[in-house]
Amino acid sequence: MISQKPHIIVEDSVQYQLGELKENQIHYDFDKLLIYLDVKGKLLFGKKFKIFEEDREIVFKLCNYFIQEEVNCKKLGIDINKGILLSGPVGCGKTSLMKLLPSIVPHHRIYQITPTRNVAFAFNHTGYKTIEHFGNQKFYCFDDLGVEPTGRFFGKDCNVMGEILLSRYDLFLKHKIKTHATTNLNAKELEDRYGNRVRSRMRQLFNLVAFEKSSEDKRI
């Protein structure tokens, strides 16, 4: 059941108001979103979690996308109808953010975060049924896109995630089903991994949101 006040979230008996409800529309406050994300992040990932000052711009972009703030998204060059491809160096916090940010919009449809290597391993066991499975109308966020092993079933190799992305592109065109992903690779590396055809589809499937190359490994 959808809460009648999705802008007010309770964690450990503490109430967090993320904005104001006016004329059946939520007007979010970014500073309040940051306060809640810090609290929720510590609950999900431990007391050492924090949102680093250098990541505020990335978090601002992603918050605007998740709350579907059309005016700001347009200024930021983000299409609210596409998915998110969040790229950046190893350990910069991509996966944590994609796990965390849906918590600010509990009334929105949730996606399942799935490591791409698990998808490749599943293909090795069940073959092309895996591609059919992930080509369904569920929402997914594919984690660590591009570093998964090549699939192999009955002696035949398959670029599993490449095929799935093509299927997800068709779903996007026909049913507006979004796909999200995280990756450590840059555009050239993704094209080398999946080919020009898939890379072309990815441009239409995703908004690219990128951490700086100099972003530190926060897991150290």
How many structural domains does the chain have? Answer: 1
CATH code (residue 171): 3.40.50.300
* pLDDT above 70 (res 2): no
Residue 203 within any structural domain of the chain = yes
Cβ proximity of 123 and 150 under 8 Å: no
* pLDDT above 50 (res 6): yes
* pLDDT above 50 (res 1): no
Between 178 and 25, the more confident residue is 178
Residue 3 within any structural domain of the chain = no
Residue 219 within any structural domain of the chain = no
Residue 16 within any structural domain of the chain = yes
Residues 195-203, mean pLDDT to the nearest whole number: 96
Q: Which tens digit of pLDDT belongs to each residue from 20-32?
A: 998 888 999 999 9
Q: Which tens digit of pLDDT belongs to each residue from 37-66?
A: 999 999 999 999 999 999 999 999 999 999
182: nearest Cα among 110, 64, 94: 94
Residue 88 within any structural domain of the chain = yes
Measure the N-to-C terminal CA separation of the chain; round to a whole number of Å: 40
- C-alpha to C-alpha distances, 29 to 5, 22, 58, 110, 211, nearest whole angstrom: 15, 13, 16, 22, 23
Residue 150 within any structural domain of the chain = yes
Residues 118-146, mean pLDDT to the nearest whole number: 95
Query: What single-letter amino acid sits at 55?
Result: D
Domain that holds residue 57: 8-210
Residue 216 within any structural domain of the chain = no
Residue 215 within any structural domain of the chain = no
* pLDDT above 90 (res 137): no
